Amino acid sequence: MDRVEIADWFKVLQDDICSQLEKGDAEGRFQEDLWERTEGGGGRTRIIQGQHIEKGGVNFSAVHGPLPQKIGNALGLDAGEFFASGVSIVLHPRNPWVPIIHMNVRYFEMSDGKWWFGGGIDLTPHYVNEGEARYFHQALKTVCDEHDASYYPIFKRWADDYFYVKHRKETRGIGGIFFDRLSGQNGFTKAQRFAFVQSVGKAFAPVYLHLLENNKDRTFEPAHKKWQLLRRGRYVEFNLVWDKGTKFGLDTDGRIESILMSLPPEVNWDYNVQPAEESLEAKTLSLLKKEIDWT
Give the active site residues: 102
- Distance, CA of 6 to CA of 279 (rounded, Å): 47
DSSP lists the bridge partners of residue 103 as 89, 121
Do the Cβ atoms of 53 and 91 come closer than 8 Å? yes
Q: Hey, what amino acid is at 206?
A: P
Neighbouring C-beta atoms of residue 185, cutoff 10 Å: 9
Element (H, E) at 217: none
260 CB-side CA count, 13 A: 10
Do the Cβ atoms of 141 and 153 come closer than 8 Å? no
- Would strands 53-66 and 81-93 be described as parallel, antiparallel, or unpaired? antiparallel
If DSSP codes are grouped into helix, strand and coil, which group holds residue 291? coil
Number of H helices, E strands in the chain: 9, 9
